[in-house]
Amino acid sequence: MAIRERLKKDPRLVPIGINIGKNRDTSNERAYEDYLFTLRELYDLGDYFVLNVSSPNTPNLRELQMGENLGVILSEVWRFRRFKPYKPILVKLAPEISGEDMVEIAKICEENDIDGVILTNTLKVEGGGLSGKPLFEISNERIREWVKISKIPVIGVGGIFSLEDVQKKLSLGAVLTQVYTGFVYRGWELFSQP
Ligand SMILES: Cc1cc2nc3c(=O)[nH]c(=O)nc-3n(C[C@H](O)[C@H](O)[C@H](O)COP(=O)(O)O)c2cc1C
């Protein structure tokens, strides 16, 4: 596995989170096999793992967030990690998930001892995913909603461009935050200037 070789060479100056999706040509019924394969291959090299069931770029991947599909993946992952050294495993959700769907997902995550959720992935738009500022309020809304229904900790992501944005997500109940698009636009400056 190419990524395994690359990770083995990493100087490990910071914790490594490994984000896992399924292959495009794997059916949703067999998706759990892809998640397990990658977890097995890389478990010793990651500090935490993210089950990405919310990328808008892989056809049908987001259906894995729902009901039985998610239940199968999470229960297989639960069985896999049962006798392994503890490492946090998180689930990453789409910003479109809310209401009863979110309640059901929270229940499935709790039943399978998921350590955290990442809210949110990109918004699905024609041709791909929308990130950055247009996502800020929507992902905030999802954090607000999640903390009302579940005690599973939230990592907040979506549209962070400043310290104030980070503080907003923390004030809503996120315990950690992540940034992608803001880093693309502002580079390292983002971390040194508010
Ligand atoms: C070019 C690009 C690639 C991304 N690839 C992934 C991915 O492979 N897995 C994933 O879970 N999220 C992926 N994301 C979503 C981001 O991790 C993040 O959840 C989202 O962009 C919202 O944060 P932001 O507004 O800070 O970019 C990607 C986003 C962008 C813009």
Instruction: Give average pLDDT by consecutive 10-residue segment, the chain, 194 residues.
Output: 94 96 95 97 98 92 91 98 97 97 97 98 94 98 98 98 97 98 96 79
Question: How distant, in Å, are the alpha carbons of 15, 25, 122, 179 from that of 186?
Answer: 22, 36, 19, 11
Our answer to whether residue 162 is catalytic in this structure is no
Domain spans of the chain, in order of start: 2-192
Give the model's pLDDT for residue 127. 87
Length of the chain: 194
Confirm or reject: Cβ of 123 under 6 Å from ligand 1.
Answer: no
CATH of 2-192, one of 3.40.50.720, 3.20.20.70, 3.40.50.620, 3.40.190.10: 3.20.20.70
CA of 190 to the centre of ligand 1 (A): 17
159 with 181: CB under 8 angstroms? yes
Confirm or reject: Cβ of 51 under 6 Å from ligand 1.
Answer: no
Q: Could you tell me the pTM of the whole model?
A: 0.97
pLDDT tens-digit profile of 34-67?
Answer: 999 999 999 999 999 999 999 998 889 899 998 8
